[in-house]
Amino acid sequence: MTTIRDDCENRIPPGQQLVAPGKWPVIGERLPADPNKPWSLQINGEVGNPFSLSLEELRSLPQTKRTMDIHCVTRWSMLDMTFSGVLLEDLLTKAGVKSNARFVSFLARSKQNHATSLDLETAIDLKTLIATEVNGEPIDISHGGPIRNIVEMRYFYKSVKWLEKIELLTEDRLGFWEAESGYHNQADPWKEQRYMAPTIDRRTSLKLIETRNFSNQNLRSIDASQRNLARLNAIEASLRDADFSGTDLSGADFTNANLSNAHFHNANLSNAILVDADLEGADFSGADLRGANFSGASLIGASFFTRRQGIIVGAKIDRTTQFPPSVIAPLFSEQLHYVNNALE
Ligand SMILES: Nc1nc2c(c(=O)[nH]1)N[C@H]1C(S)=C(S)[C@@H](COP(=O)(O)O)O[C@H]1N2
Ligand SMILES: [Mo]
């Protein structure tokens, strides 16, 4: 079955927004390990003929050009990016994949050993590209150049920067974001497969909610909606995808917390401290943000209003909300407009 997505609206998966033109954000690591060491690409694991290619050799193989849209799990998308490089399938044909290989792992030259994986069939069906160019230029090092794998139709964490090894496996091996941050292993943006199921059970979360102390704990995807958590201590807590919809968080302290993709719809965050917090992709629509402090926070992909059945549901923002200009600069243009209007 094929879906036709011709107009722009239908090309943006649910919960995503377009970045302002020319503002491709750098997400995660900004540089590889050993940036000055010459680059090569190794293919090994369950293959009959493991081999290694220098960057020049990779570039001299037949090149494939593909234009596609990219979608980050923290809710930003970019349309019509043209990548060129070598099809994974072509490299695999050369390597002679053994019949017991079922997964493919893409490993980066990275200080934190970044990697990701796909099942082999999906990787080939999606025409995974081992890319060296984007929009006619070599890929910038901050975006994973000189070699990056590019997987269309999956959240962008399936495309590792600074690719240096492709390993064929009989069993899956979870990648960095999948293992460390609970990102979904399928990662289909059209199905909004952002996170795996929560690891914290209902009883444990209810107990924690009673103590109002989340500091330093890993509570990914916790359901803390419609609660009274005024003055919550959540310093350095890991709260990706947490649901705080409708919750009283007045005076809560989220200093240095990871709140990426957290849901604060209609929450009371008056006088809350969000200093240095990761708020990428977080939803503040309808939240009370008066007196809240966002100094040093990261707001790529965050939203402060949504339209529900044509009605604008916006955050309450005024001059007491601390939004330094550099903090709001990376917002989507419509969102920035809303925030700036509210601050006047
Ligand atoms: N080596 C490496 N690859 C990575 C990451 C990373 O931190 N290190 N981040 C992933 C994530 S979550 C995203 S959204 C994209 C971001 O790519 P960009 O910085 O070029 O926008 O790279 C993916 N690949
Ligand atoms: Mo991402």
pLDDT in tens, 43-71: 999 999 999 999 999 999 999 999 999 99
Let me know whether 173 and 216 are in one domain: no
Distance 102 CA to ligand 1 centre (A): 24
Residue 185 beta carbon below 6 angstroms from any ligand 1 atom: no
The amino acid at residue 167 is: E
Let me know whether 58 and 171 are in one domain: yes
Distance 212 CA to ligand 1 centre (A): 34
Let me know whether 14 and 137 are in one domain: yes
Q: Which bin fits 324, alpha (ψ -120 to 50), beta or left (φ > 0)?
A: beta
* H or E stretch covering 179: helix 176-181
8 pLDDT tier (thresholds 50, 70, 90): low
Does pLDDT of 161 surpass 70? yes
The CA dihedral of 159, 126, 153, 186, to the nearest 10 degrees, is: -70
Ligand 1 pocket, mutate which of 78, 156, 177, 278 (most atoms under 8 A from CB): 156
pLDDT for residue 65: 98
Is 250:228 a contact under the CB 8 Å cutoff?
Answer: no
Does pLDDT of 106 surpass 50? yes
More confident residue, 162 or 201: 162
pLDDT for residue 20: 85
Let me know whether 266 and 319 are in one domain: yes
Shortest-distance ligand to the CA of residue 281: 2
Query: Closest ligand 1 atom to the C-alpha of 28?
Result: 7
Give the domain range for residue 36: 4-191
Query: Closest ligand 1 atom to the C-alpha of 162?
Result: 1
- Burial environment of residue 127 by CB neighbours within 10 A (0 to 12, 13 to 18, 19 or more): middle
Instruction: Among 139, 173, 191, identify where a domain stops.
Output: 191
Distance 143 CA to ligand 1 centre (A): 7
Let me know whether 177 and 277 are in one domain: no
Overall domain count for the chain: 2
Let me know whether 240 and 206 are in one domain: yes
**What DSSP state is assigned to residue 5?**
-
- In tens, the pLDDT along 237-288 reads 999 999 999 999 999 999 999 999 999 999 999 999 999 999 999 999 999 9
Sign of the torsion formed by the C-alpha atoms of 10, 16, 20 and 23? negative
Query: Could you give the residue ranges of the DSSP H alpha helices within 36-78?
Result: 55-60
Does pLDDT of 6 surpass 50? no
Does pLDDT of 309 surpass 70? yes
Instruction: Among 139, 162, 191, identify where a domain stops.
Output: 191
Q: What CATH code is carried by the domain that includes residue 57? A: 3.90.420.10
Let me know whether 179 and 206 are in one domain: no
Let me know whether 205 and 182 are in one domain: no
Let me know whether 205 and 341 are in one domain: yes
Let me know whether 210 and 332 are in one domain: yes
Does pLDDT of 308 surpass 80? yes
